[in-house]
Amino acid sequence: MPDLAEAKERMLKEHLAARGITNERVLKAFREVPREEFVPDHLHNLAYEDMPLEVGRGQTISQPYTVAFMTQLLDPHREDVVLEVGTGSGYQAAILALLVERVFTIERFAELAQKAEKRLGRLGYDNVEVIVGDGSRGWPERAPFEGIIVTAGAPEVPPPLVEQLKVGGRLVAPVGKGVQEMVKIVKRERELEKEIYPGFRFVPLVGEGGFKDA
């Protein structure tokens, strides 16, 4: 049985802190959330390696560095309400649950959503609500949000998501086919501020504001 605690400390130091993850609250959340609970049993020993892992239905939990990079870009504050598009395993949602007031997370596969919901409940992340649906349309019922994070690659930032952002709110989304660039948008009164970071790889966002087929 490999020592997961040791592997986790190595992840924090070598894959996160050494690569520019400096937000102390973000690092603390990564220390707290047991990533092994979000991957299939036979992959437990790889839980703290910096690699994506399968979570079923051909989908993957992103590598820890990518989750941390996106979380830090989102600039989460304690009182924020955040929307995540692409629940997958629920890991990103669990990280966010420790950093913000409330998390809504949407998943297109009911099977994955149910598993993630059960897992998040069992682990006590009770400020997360899992929704089954097409997150490329956002979640107008609960909008606007201080933060929106998309964890699947889209052809462009879906316009409804920008609309559902509060003024001062931040959106982080990988954009592109095959290889993506990470786009961060900050919504201002009269304009959108945009930053771009190249070199990411995600499963596709499939839906109205995403790709039309898987």
Q: Write out the catalytic residue numbers.
A: 62
Stretch that binds ligand SAH, among 18-26, 43-51, 166-174, 199-207 (CB under 6 A): 199-207
Kindly tell me which of 47 and 85 has the beta carbon lying closer to ligand SAH.
85
Interface size with ligand SAH, residues (CB under 6 A): 26
- If one asks whether residue 92 binds ligand SAH (CB under 6 A), the answer comes out as yes
Nearest to 86 by CA among 104, 68, 65: 104
Residue 7 neighbours by CB distance under 10 Å: 17
One residue of 7, 109, 127, 197 binding ligand SAH per CB under 6 A: 109
- If one asks whether residue 89 binds ligand SAH (CB under 6 A), the answer comes out as yes
Instruction: Give the three-class secondary structure for 132.
Output: strand
Q: Cα–Cα distance between 76 and 155 in angstroms, integer? A: 25
- If one asks whether residue 59 binds ligand SAH (CB under 6 A), the answer comes out as yes
DSSP tag of 39: S
- If one asks whether residue 86 binds ligand SAH (CB under 6 A), the answer comes out as yes
Q: Cα–Cα distance between 53 and 104 in angstroms, integer? A: 23
One residue of 26, 33, 85, 165 binding ligand SAH per CB under 6 A: 85
Stretch that binds ligand SAH, among 3-11, 41-49, 165-173, 202-210 (CB under 6 A): 202-210
For 121, phi then psi, to 5°, come to -65, -45
One residue of 26, 33, 61, 157 binding ligand SAH per CB under 6 A: 61
DSSP character string of 53-90: EEEETTEEEPPHHHHHHHHHHH---TT-EEEEE--TTS
Kindly tell me which of 169 and 210 has the beta carbon lying closer to ligand SAH.
210
Query: 53-83 burial string, b = 16+ CB within 10 Å, else e?
Result: bebeeebbbbbbbbbbbbbbbbbbeeebbbb
- If one asks whether residue 148 binds ligand SAH (CB under 6 A), the answer comes out as no
Nearest to 142 by CA among 124, 119, 166: 166
Q: Least Å distance between CB 187 and ligand SAH?
A: 21
One residue of 70, 106, 128, 148 binding ligand SAH per CB under 6 A: 106
Applying CB under 6 A, which residues contact ligand SAH? 55, 59-62, 85-86, 88-89, 91-92, 106-109, 112, 134-136, 151-152, 203, 205-207, 210
